C-alpha cells in the first residue's frame, strides 16, 4: 500500500485542517487513513466521496441552520431533494446487483445528510418498489419503470390506527366481485384507517395496501397486498372514495410526510392483487402455491429482515455521527485542571471517557456486524431467487430472522442511549439545536419502533433459541446454524459448569474473559427461561398465559388518576382521562392544519418531472 497522504489517497482522504485537534491526532497509535482504507476499501470510499461532494456542491442541499423551516416548507424541500437524487442517479439498478453493499452505503450517506431524505427516497424506490417486484407478477412489472421515472410515487400501507405489531389483525377488507372483476377495498371504520404510512401524507399516488381478501360466498383468505391508486398523478388530488391525509408533526423525520387513508368501497381491477402468494380467477376462485394462510403470511412478511438490517445500518450511522461530535467537542472543550490557571480537555477526565468511549467502540463493532449480516441476507436472497429449497436455505432464513430481530433492537437502543449520552456529555452546547444531537436523537428514535417494536423482536429471537434448545433436549439434535452464531450453545452444559476464576484486573482486559462471561450468561438465561416456561406449562397455563403470567397492574390506572393533571394541562390525546384512545387521536389529527389539503408544491411532482441520470455527468 502506498504511504497514506500521498497520491490518490490524498485526494480521497485529504488532510484535516490544522488546529486544536492536532495534539490528539499526533498521539494516535495508528494511521486513520490506513484504517479507513482497510475498513471500507478504496472503491467504497470513492463512492461515498462522490455522493457527499455532489450534495455539498449543490445549492439545493445547502444547510441553513437559521432557517427554521415550517413543516410544509421542509416537506417541499425534502421532495425536491429526493427528485434531485433521481437526477444524480448515484447507483443504477445494475450497480445495485453488482455490489449490493452500495445500496446500504447510499442509504447511509443520504441519511447522514438527512434521514427524511433517505426515508422518502428509499420508501419509494426500495420498499414500495421491491414490494411490487417481489409480491407481484409480470403484469405488475410495468410499475417498476414508472417508479424510477417518478411517473408515480409509492408507499407501503400495512399498519392501521388500531393495529401495528399484530399485523394479522389488520381490518381493511378486499371483497371480490366476479360480475365486474373488481375488488372492493373498504375500511370498516376510522380505527381501520391505514396510519403512519411514510410518503402517504402528501406525495404518494400509489400504495401497496394490505387487506383481508374475501371471495364470493364470504370466505376470508387472510391478508393480501394490493397496488392501489390513491391520488391522480396529474393533480395530486385524491381518487374517488379515498380519504387521504397527513398525520402531522412527529418527534423527528418531519421532511417525510407520514399519512393515513380511509377507503370507502373503492373499486379496483382484479389485477391490482399482488398475486405471487395467492391469486383469484376471474370467476372468483382462490388459488395459492401455499397450503394455508399462516404459511402464506410468513412468506409475504419474510422480507421484513431487509427492513431490520437496514435499520441496524441507520442506527450505526447515527451513533457514528453522535460520537464524532461528542469526541471532537471533548477534545477541545477545556474545563478545570490540575492548577487554577491550567485547564485540560474534558476528554482527559475518566468520567468523560467512561461515558463516550464504549459508544465509540460500539459504533465500530455494530458497523461490522450490520455489514456482515447485510451480506448474509444478500446470500439468502440470491438463494431464494435461484429457487433454493434446501434445508440449509430455510435454516439460514430462520437464523437471519433471529439475528436481524435482536440486532435491530441492540443497534437502535445502543444508538439512542449513545446519542443521549453524547448530548449530555456536550453539556449545554449539546442542547443547542444547531449542533445536531437533538435531530439525531429524534430521527433515530423510531428505529426502536418501526419494523417491529424492539421488545417484541427480542421475543422472536428468544423463541428461535428456545426452539433450538427444545430440539436438543427432546431429540438430542445439535446446535448448528449456517452462520454458526448458535454453535457455541452446543456445549452449554459445560459452559454452565464454568466458574469465574480470573484473579487480576489486568486479566479482565483480555477479551476472551468477557466473551466467556457473555457465553455463560446466554446459556444461563436460556436454561432458566426454558425451565420456567416448562414449569408454567406443566402447572396448566396455556401457551399464551405461559408467556404472560400477570401480576401487580390493576392499580396502575387509579395511581395515574391521582398524579395526572386535567386533560387540558396533560395535553395528550392518547392520555386523556376518558380513555377514548382512537377517537381522541383521530380528532386531534384531523384538527391539524391542511391535513387533507393538497401540498402547495404539487406541480413539482405533477409537471416538473426529473430526468433520471441527467446530472450524472456532473459527478
Pick out the residues of the known binding site for FAD. Answer: 159, 198
Q: Please, which residue, 284 or 358, has the CB nearer to its own copies?
A: 358
Q: Burial level of 422, CB count in 10 A (0-12/13-18/19+)?
A: buried
Q: Which stretch binds its own copies (CB under 8 A): 77-85, 385-393, 499-507, 590-598?
A: 590-598
82 interacts with its own copies by CB under 8 A = no
Cβ neighbours, 10 Å, residue 332: 15
Torsion angle (degrees, nearest 10) of CA 13, 14, 15, 19: -110
User: Whole-number minimum distance, CB 575 to its own copies, in Å?
Assistant: 3
SS3 17: coil
> Which positions from 95 through 124 interact with its own copies, judged by CB under 8 A?
109, 112-113
3-14 in b/e burial notation, b at 16+ Cβ within 10 A? ebeeeebeebbe
Q: State the DSSP string of 298-340.
A: HHHTTTHHHHHHHHHHHHHHHHHHHHHHHHHHHHH-B---SSS
d(CA 140, CA 544) in angstroms, rounded, equals 40
Q: Please, which residue, 158 or 523, has the CB nearer to its own copies?
A: 158
Q: Please, which residue, 138 or 554, has the CB nearer to its own copies?
A: 554
Contact pick of 138, 282, 350, 501 for its own copies (by CB under 8 A): 350
d(CA 255, CA 11) in angstroms, rounded, equals 33
Is residue 6 annotated as part of the catalytic site, yes or no?
no
d(CA 446, CA 416) in angstroms, rounded, equals 10
66 interacts with its own copies by CB under 8 A = yes
CB 72 within 8 A of CB 599: yes
Catalytic residue among 348, 451, 528, 545: 451
Q: Please, which residue, 21 or 470, has the CB nearer to its own copies?
A: 21
Q: Please, which residue, 3 or 269, has the CB nearer to its own copies?
A: 3
CB 36 within 8 A of CB 13: yes
> Which positions from 291 through 310 interact with its own copies, judged by CB under 8 A?
none
Q: Please, which residue, 457 or 486, has the CB nearer to its own copies?
A: 457
555 interacts with its own copies by CB under 8 A = yes
User: Whole-number minimum distance, CB 291 to its own copies, in Å?
Assistant: 18
User: Whole-number minimum distance, CB 319 to its own copies, in Å?
Assistant: 9
Q: State the DSSP string of 101-129.
A: HHHHHHHHHHHHH-HHHHHHHHIIIIIIH
559 interacts with its own copies by CB under 8 A = yes
CB 99 within 8 A of CB 374: no
User: Whole-number minimum distance, CB 300 to its own copies, in Å?
Assistant: 18
545 interacts with its own copies by CB under 8 A = yes
475 interacts with its own copies by CB under 8 A = no
- In the annotated binding site, the residues are 159, 198
> Which positions from 239 through 268 interact with its own copies, judged by CB under 8 A?
247-252
Q: Which stretch binds its own copies (CB under 8 A): 416-424, 469-477, 496-504, 607-615?
A: 416-424
User: Whole-number minimum distance, CB 60 to its own copies, in Å?
Assistant: 13
CB 218 within 8 A of CB 180: no
Nearest to 128 by CA among 82, 166, 193: 82
Positions marked catalytic? 451
Amino acid at each position: 500500500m502506498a504511504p497514506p497522504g500521498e497520491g490518490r489517497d490524498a485526494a480521497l482522504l485529504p488532510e484535516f485542517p490544522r488546529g486544536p485537534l492536532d495534539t490528539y491526532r499526533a498521539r494516535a497509535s495508528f494511521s486513520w487513513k490506513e484504517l479507513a482504507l482497510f475498513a471500507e476499501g478504496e472503491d467504497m470510499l470513492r463512492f461515498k466521496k462522490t455522493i457527499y461532494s455532489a450534495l455539498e456542491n449543490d445549492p439545493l442541499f445547502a444547510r441553513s441552520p437559521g432557517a427554521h423551516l415550517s413543516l410544509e416548507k421542509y416537506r417541499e424541500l425534502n421532495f425536491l431533494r429526493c427528485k434531485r437524487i433521481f437526477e444524480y442517479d448515484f447507483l443504477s439498478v445494475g450497480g445495485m446487483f453488482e455490489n449490493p453493499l452500495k445500496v446500504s452505503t447510499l442509504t447511509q450517506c443520504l441519511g447522514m445528510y438527512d434521514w427524511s431524505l433517505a426515508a422518502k427516497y428509499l420508501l419509494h424506490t426500495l420498499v414500495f418498489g421491491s414490494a411490487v417486484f417481489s409480491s407481484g407478477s409480470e403484469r405488475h412489472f410495468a410499475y417498476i419503470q414508472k417508479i424510477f421515472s417518478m411517473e408515480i410515487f409509492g408507499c407501503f400501507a400495512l399498519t392501521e390506527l388500531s393495529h401495528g405489531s399484530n399485523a394479522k389483525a389488520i381490518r381493511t377488507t378486499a371483497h371480490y366481485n366476479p360480475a365486474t372483476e373488481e375488488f372492493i377495498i373498504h375500511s370498516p371504520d376510522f380505527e381501520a384507517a391505514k396510519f403512519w404510512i411514510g410518503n402517504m401524507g402528501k406525495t404518494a399516488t400509489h400504495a401497496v395496501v394490505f387487506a383481508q381478501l374475501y371471495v364470493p360466498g364470504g370466505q376470508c383468505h387472510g391478508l393480501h397486498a394490493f397496488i392501489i391508486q390513491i391520488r391522480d398523478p396529474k393533480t395530486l388530488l385524491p381518487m374517488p372514495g379515498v380519504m387521504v391525509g397527513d398525520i402531522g408533526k412527529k418527534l423527528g423525520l418531519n421532511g417525510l410526510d407520514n399519512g393515513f387513508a380511509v377507503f370507502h368501497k373503492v373499486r379496483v381491477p382484479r389485477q391490482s392483487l399482488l398475486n405471487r402468494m395467492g391469486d383469484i380467477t376471474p370467476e372468483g376462485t382462490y388459488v395459492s402455491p401455499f397450503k394455508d394462510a399462516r404459511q402464506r403470511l410468513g412468506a409475504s412478511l419474510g422480507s421484513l429482515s431487509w427492513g431490520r438490517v437496514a435499520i441496524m445500518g441507520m442506527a450505526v450511522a447515527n451513533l457514528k455521527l453522535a460520537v464524532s461530535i461528542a469526541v471532537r467537542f471533548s477534545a477541545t472543550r477545556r474545563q478545570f485542571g490540575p492548577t487554577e490557571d491550567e485547564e485540560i480537555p474534558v476528554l482527559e477526565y475518566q468520567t468523560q471517557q467512561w461515558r463516550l468511549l464504549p459508544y465509540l467502540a460500539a459504533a465500530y463493532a455494530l458497523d461490522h456486524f450490520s455489514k456482515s449480516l447485510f451480506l448474509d441476507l444478500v446470500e439468502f436472497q440470491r438463494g431464494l431467487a435461484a429457487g433454493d429449497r434446501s434445508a440449509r436455505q430455510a435454516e439460514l432464513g430462520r437464523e437471519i430472522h433471529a439475528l436481524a430481530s435482536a440486532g435491530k433492537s441492540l443497534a437502535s437502543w445502543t444508538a439512542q442511549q449513545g446519542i443521549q449520552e453524547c448530548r449530555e456529555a456536550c453539556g449545554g452546547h449539546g442542547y443547542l439545536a444547531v449542533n445536531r444531537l437533538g435531530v439525531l436523537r429524534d430521527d433515530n428514535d423510531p428505529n426502536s419502533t418501526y419494523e417491529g417494536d424492539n421488545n417484541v423482536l427480542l421475543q422472536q429471537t428468544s423463541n428461535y433459541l428456545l426452539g433450538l434448545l427444545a430440539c436438543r433436549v427432546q431429540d438430542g439434535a445439535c446446535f448448528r446454524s449456517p452462520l454458526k452464531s448458535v454453535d457455541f450453545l452446543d456445549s452449554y452444559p459445560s459452559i454452565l459448569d464454568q466458574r469465574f476464576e480470573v484473579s487480576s484486573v489486568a486479566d479482565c482486559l483480555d477479551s476472551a474473559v468477557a466473551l466467556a462471561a457473555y457465553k455463560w450468561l446466554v446459556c444461563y438465561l436460556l436454561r432458566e427461561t426454558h425451565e420456567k416456561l416448562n414449569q408454567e406449562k406443566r402447572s396448566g397455563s396455556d401457551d399464551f398465559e405461559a408467556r404472560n403470567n400477570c401480576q401487580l397492574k390493576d392499580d396502575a390506572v387509579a395511581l395515574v388518576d391521582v398524579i395526572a393533571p386535567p386533560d387540558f394541562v396533560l395535553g395528550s390525546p392518547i392520555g386523556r382521562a376518558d380513555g377514548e384512545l382512537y377517537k381522541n387521536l383521530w380528532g386531534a389529527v384531523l384538527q391539524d392544519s391542511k391535513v387533507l389539503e393538497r401540498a402547495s408544491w404539487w406541480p413539482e411532482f405533477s409537471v416538473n418531472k426529473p430526468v433520471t441520470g441527467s446530472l450524472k455527468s456532473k459527478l
